[in-house]
Chains A and B, each alone.
Chain A
Amino acid sequence: MKGMTIIVKTIARLISGLILLFGIYIVLHGHLTPGGGFAGGVIIAGCFIFLFLAYGSEETKNEVSKWRASLCESFGLLLFWYLAMLGIFAGTQFFLNIINKGNPFHLFSAGIIPLCNIGIGIEVGGGLFAIFIILATLKMEEKK
């Protein structure tokens, strides 16, 4: 699909960094303010979708983007699984909250919850961007 005009391309370059920062903020503060891994992950995917829509599919390299998004998604899910298995490695049951709980209202509190949010954010962001690339670069074949 074709890209858009040069005004849209310039604005997309300027704003997409802010959208990515906002998404990371919502993921990291998931245990203090509303939000969490899922909402932040979708916003991160939205940043990349915005860049992809503004520049068109001819200028961006499709194969490399699809491979990278799939890699991020698998890495996020594996991180979530590894954090759940920490309980078994430490000797107690599966999925137990064993890291130090800290003081409430600080960023480094609540044990395992911020790290799980990071894993889920990476997974949701990569997965939704991969779905969008597959749907947007689909070429309908013309049958004679």
Chain B
Amino acid sequence: MIELYLLLILMILGAVIALEAKDLLSAIISLGLIGFSLVLIFLILQAPDLAIVQIVVETLSLIILIAAILKTSLKDTAQENGLKEKFLLGGGLLFLIIFMFFVNQAIKFLPHFGFPLMRMAKNYIDLGLIKTGAVNLVAAIILDFRGYDTLGEATILFTAVIGVGAVLRKIGRKK
């Protein structure tokens, strides 16, 4: 599993660069780096459905972000470097160390990596082909066993399109 660790370290480095870059275009390209590394990780973890959806959605998300910043400004706002910022950074690092300690204690209760519990999945794998007739088990789950989630997701996408159309409307001038 050495390639999994390498890709994860690449994602963490990319996240730090994306948040600290002074030019907004470089930050968005680093976000693209994180997204495409996630596609490789999904392929290593044997999830081709997720890899296809993530690669096309990542491309579209980059297009939307770049279209937005090309119409507005391209520079990051200036950060002052006084005493308050150093104090905040120190406090942030301390919080991160305490947070990681508690996460380490909580992860001990999860099953080990590579041996999932699979209580519901056993039923889906055994009876999926007989009850739905679909060969792709993930498609059978999202459209037959858990169809309400897909209905809600389609509605959320519809609402987002209505929202974007309503926010970016041309306002008429009051005479």
Contacts and interface: CB of A to CB of B under 8 A. Distances in A.
Interface of A: 26, 30-36, 38-39, 42-43, 45-46, 49, 70, 73-74, 77, 80-81, 84, 95, 97, 101-102, 104-105, 109-113, 116-117, 120, 123-124, 127-128, 130-132, 134-136, 138-140
Contact of B164 (A42, A80, A134): A134
Interface of B: 48-49, 51-53, 56-57, 59-60, 63-64, 67-68, 71-72, 129, 132-136, 138-140, 142-144, 147-148, 150-151, 154-155, 157-158, 160-161, 164-165, 168, 170
Given A123-B157, A124-B157, A136-B67, A101 B48 contact: no
A120 B158 CA distance: 11
Nearest to B165: A134
A49 B139 contact: no
A43 B56 contact: yes
A88 to B, nearest CB: 14
B168 A32 contact: no
Contacts of B56: 39, 42-43, 46
Contacts of A101: 132-133
Chain B's interface: helix, strand, loop or mixed, by majority? helix
The 10 A-B pairs at the shortest CB distance, nearest first, are namely A101-B133, A110-B134, A34-B48, A31-B134, A110-B133, A42-B56, A34-B49, A127-B161, A39-B52, A39-B53
B72 to A, nearest CB: 8
A8 B59 CA distance: 19
Contacts of A31: 134-136, 139-140
B52 A84 contact: no
A95 B144 CA distance: 8
A113 B63 contact: no
Given A34-B52, A95-B148, A120-B154, A104 B135 contact: yes
A34 B56 CA distance: 14
A101 B168 CA distance: 45
